[in-house]
Amino acid sequence: MQIHVVRPRDTIFRIAQMYGIPPALLVEANQVPNPNRLVVGQTLVIPIQGSYHWVAPGDTLFNISRQYGISQAELIRINRLPSPAQLPVDFRLYIPPRPRPTVDTAAYIDTQVAGADAPQDIDLVGEHLTFLPIFSYRVNRDGTLTPPVDQPLINAAYRDRVVPLMVLTNLEEGQFSTELATTILSSEALQDQVLDAAIAVMKQKGYLGLDFDFEYLGAPNRERYNAFLRKAATRLKAEGFFISSALAPKYSADQQGVLYEGHDYQAHGDIMDFIFFMTYEWGWSGGPPMAVSPINQVRRVLEFAISQAPRDKVMMGIPLYGYDWTLPYVPGGRWARVVSPQRAIELAAQYNVAIQYDTTSQAPFFNYIDEDGSAHVVWFEDARSIQAKFDLVKELRIRGFFYWQLGPSFPQNWLLLRDNFTVRKRVARQGE
């Protein structure tokens, strides 16, 4: 498929005509929220097999072939060009699709925010998922677990041949608790009780793996957590279950801060079947405006990750949302509100502002003034930012990627996923 960035005077009809597709197909594939009022800088994924290249001044067949990784002879054959080929400016060359690597994918679903339609949300995108981590079972200080309402989500996962993962957290009163984690990780008896309870739930409800999302552990809990996970891995693998963990984004082994110090990339690489690296939330609701998942920072984390853990265990984190900040940003002031990529486009159309693109972070953003005269800035994800992340997955040859979190509407993501990758399925079809 191809990504088209809307320019001044573009319309759905003109863009569809440019690529030789029906306008209705373009609108439907992208679920365009503003078909009669496109925004400059908005992206549209063109639902075609392969892509087109319009010849620019200075282009040669040699340079184009190198850009797309296809031989000159193949370009000449597919486009029925005379040889030697003359390429006039604005001539449209067809570029065939490339082979698609096979990856594992996942999408967390948060039971605290998922609505009654959550099983249907899973069904809509289940074909694109390998794993569904269901967030979360909260560990209590006495070693018991507080469960979410999860059986409908597990059932939906099986319908779509997706592996349901049970997620354990050290959440207490809505926050990750260092004290709670210390209580559990300092007691062999409590650890055994947690694992006994988790394995019993997994067998009862049909979970196929256990994901550990213990955060804000601090340095004193680093080795305790490693030991707990080794114990868990021994028990889970004996039962045939997957074991995974979610880790904070680090650039070095000795990175300072309570969020980072308890997470040992190398140890998790040895213990886990795979690891969810949380490469998002640089821009977050309580912090200053910036890209949620800037590609330059994502790259730094993943390059460090593959120096510590096997590539085939590394999963990149991708956000399915953005934030709308009210300006000026004041530390401790008003928090930014979450927006889906679709809602971001609606806002840009509503306030008639162009979408800009930051090439360093590979992320779109725009500014607007609301009805009360308040200034806003919105950072979000679009087709370009997602493609940049997919390209990094291919470049680093890692296991795959995951999303935080399922729910926000982002149809372009799923179009591009299908075009870039073959998703590995680890649950057999019924009857197989």
Secondary structure of the chain in HEC code, one letter for each residue:
CEEEECCCCCCHHHHHHHHCCCHHHHHHHHCCCCCCCCCCCCEEEECCCCEEEECCCCCCHHHHHHHHCCCHHHHHHHHCCCCCCCCCCCCEEEECCCCCCEEEEEECEECCCCCCCHHHHHHHHHHHCCEEEEEEEEECCCCCEECCCCHHHHHHHHHCCCEEEEEEECEECCEECHHHHHHHHCCHHHHHHHHHHHHHHHHHHCCCEEEEECCCCCHHHHHHHHHHHHHHHHHHHHCCCEEEEEECCCCCCCCCCHHHHCCCHHHHHHHCCEEEECCCCCCCCCCCCCCCCCHHHHHHHHHHHHHHCCHHHEEEEEECCEEEEEECCCCCCCCCEEECHHHHHHHHHHCCCCCEEECCCCEEEEEEECCCCCEEEEECCCHHHHHHHHHHHHHHCCCEEEEECCCCCCHHHHHHHHHHCEECCCCCCCCC
CA–CA dist 277, 215 (Å, integer):
12
Catalytic site includes residue 381: no
What is the Cβ-side half-sphere exposure of residue 381, based on CA atoms within 13 angstroms?
30
Q: 400 with 409: CB under 8 angstroms?
A: no
CA–CA dist 407, 130 (Å, integer):
17
Dihedral angle sign, alpha carbons of residues 139, 401, 106, 357:
positive
Exactly one of 188, 215, 371, 432 is catalytic; name it.
Answer: 215
User: Maximum Cα–Cα distance for the chain, whole Å?
Assistant: 77
Q: Which residues contact 258 (CB under 8 A, 6 or more apart)?
A: 178, 216, 217, 218, 219
| Nearest 10 degrees: Cα torsion 211, 217, 220, 224 | -20
Q: Which residues are catalytic?
A: 215
